[in-house]
Structure 1
Amino acid sequence: MTIDYNQAREMMVEQQVRPWEVLDARVLGVLATLPRERFVPEIHRALAYADVEIPLAAGPAGHGQRMMKPVVEGRTLQALLPQEGEEVLEIGTGGGYLAACLGALAREVVSLEINPELASRARAQLDANGLGNNVRIETVDALHYSTDRRFDAICVTGAMDVLPSRFLQWLRPGGRLFVVHGRSPVMEAVLMHNDVNGPRIESLFETDLPYLAGAAPAPAFVF
């Protein structure tokens, strides 16, 4: 059966994303035009616009990483709302789709990916589809990353057990950081604002995501 991806994309926006209070016209425009199916592993391509998380690779190669549901991607983009002149740091490139979305909204995106295979595949898909000319992917562990650059927005695509105070150092004054934190199965998505009087945390919604590599809670021993 041949799938009409254009129709599937439109239905995703109208039946999934918009009803979940994603109403910003720029965000909806990006979700309605970017070919999400190109960033999904071929074996799962029929699920590109379904309301499910999608594994990025089979077996150990994927390191348990999955694409967010479209509704979570929409809420993430709307929460950060990058402007045309802004610079964004993405932590966790994954398949590269969210990097492409951020690149369509912002002036420049630096995306960090610990898995060389995923980083290479994401770069190849961005280039093959003429997207992400303003997206630079670096293969590095974000938890040991160091930079003197400052960003207007930071998007953390994997969950963290605790809020990442270290990442706030990379924000410009007035910048904002999206992250999901807590313990599965109920985690909290928040927007951290780098206000002049100190960090301010805005609660957004509940969800459940795989942990960022190295950011899972320490195993608990039961005696």
Structure 2
Amino acid sequence: MQDTIEWEKPRFSERREERYQMVKRAIKGRGVTDKATLEAMRQVPRHLFVPEDRRSNAYENRPLPIGYQQTISQPYIVGYMTQLLELDEGEKVLEIGTGSGYQAAILSELTPYVFTIEIVEELGKQARERFESLGYHTIETKIGDGYKGWPEHAPFDAIILTAAADDIPEPLIEQLKPGGVMVLPVGDSGLTQRLLRVRKTEDGKIETERKLPVRFVPMTGIDQKN
């Protein structure tokens, strides 16, 4: 039996009640029932992951712009996708599309082994500084093309994409551990996409489940269209 893993999880009293109400109104009871996911969303201060002029809207259940034609996903989708990963404490997870860093912070409540890649350099730098200033010291960040994954740290128990791909990126399938789970939106940019949960069986086969219709910004990078 694996020993309990302990790591730093920063805590914030500011606007705590709004976080609890966000979970109660927008997330709990809508199919997100995993206790660890719900508790993570109660603890991470979403208002500190959005631009200052959007902070009054931080706990509404809707996406918000974060600059550079990118958005922070609505809380319900963040919770739903996190639950689909079925993360256990101590597992290694890769996020493609750091954005403001909110999703990575949620993941870091579940496991200390979070790796996140952002292709927009300024957003990546901002997220790295935000993690440092807020105390999310276990998150590893990289600025680069997420389509390629992060082979130096592979294989991963779970992979999550927060931008829509045309198809399931082959490099990410290769970097997913047998028995692992990938959650991603797939489909044309500008249109409704389909959220998929992809499982890699122990013998390397790929099984795909179709979940919610969603709308995400498109995945970019030199390999996306090649």
Same fold, judged at TM 0.5 (above): yes
Q: 1:119 aligns with which of 105, 124, 145?
A: 124
TM-score (norm. length: structure 2): 0.87
Q: 2:65 aligns with which of 55, 58, 74?
A: 55
Count of paired positions: 209
User: Per-residue CA shift, 1:135-166, capped at 9, x if unaligned?
Assistant: 11011112245615210000111011222233
* 1:141 lines up with 2:145 in the alignment: yes
Give the whole-Å Cα distance in 1 for the aligned partners of 2:145 and 2:85: 23
| Residues 160, 215 of structure 1: 8 Å contact kept | no
**Pairwise CA distance, 1:46:** 0.9
Q: CA RMSD in A?
A: 1.9
User: Per-residue CA shift, 1:4-55, capped at 9, x if unaligned?
Assistant: 7222211110110113210100000000111111111111111111121111
* 1:101 lines up with 2:106 in the alignment: yes
| Residues 166, 224 of structure 2: 8 Å contact kept | yes
- Map of 2:218 onto structure 1: 211
Give the whole-Å Cα distance in 1 for the aligned partners of 2:96 and 2:33: 25
**Pairwise CA distance, 1:215:** 8.6
| Residues 147, 223 of structure 2: 8 Å contact kept | no
Point out where structure 1 has 5 or more consecutive residues left out of the alignment: 219-223
Point out where structure 2 has 5 or more consecutive residues left out of the alignment: 1-13
* SS of structure 2 residue aligned to 1:191: strand
State how 1:31-42 maps to structure 2 within 5 Å.
31-42=41-52
**1:185 is matched by which residue type in structure 2?**
L
* 1:130 lines up with 2:140 in the alignment: no
**2:16 is matched by which residue type in structure 1?**
N
**Pairwise CA distance, 1:129:** 1.3
TM-score (norm. length: structure 1): 0.88
* SS of structure 2 residue aligned to 1:19: coil
* SS of structure 2 residue aligned to 1:105: coil
* SS of structure 2 residue aligned to 1:14: helix
Counting aligned pairs with the same residue, the percent is 29
* 1:66 lines up with 2:62 in the alignment: no
**1:191 is matched by which residue type in structure 2?**
R
Q: What stretches of structure 1 move > 3 A for 4+ residues in a row?
A: 214-218
* SS of structure 1 residue aligned to 2:163: coil
Give the whole-Å Cα distance in 2 for the aligned partners of 1:190 and 1:207: 10
Q: 1:188 aligns with which of 173, 184, 194?
A: 194
Q: Taking structure 1 as reference, are residues 215 and 162 closer, same or farther at Cα in structure 2, changes over 3 Å only?
A: farther
**1:48 is matched by which residue type in structure 2?**
A
- Map of 2:32 onto structure 1: 22
Give the whole-Å Cα distance in 2 for the aligned partners of 1:40 and 1:191: 27
Give the whole-Å Cα distance in 1 for the aligned partners of 2:122 and 2:87: 27
- Map of 1:45 onto structure 2: 55
**Pairwise CA distance, 1:76:** 0.6
Give the whole-Å Cα distance in 1 for the aligned partners of 2:31 and 2:195: 15
**Pairwise CA distance, 1:98:** 0.6
**2:183 is matched by which residue type in structure 1?**
F
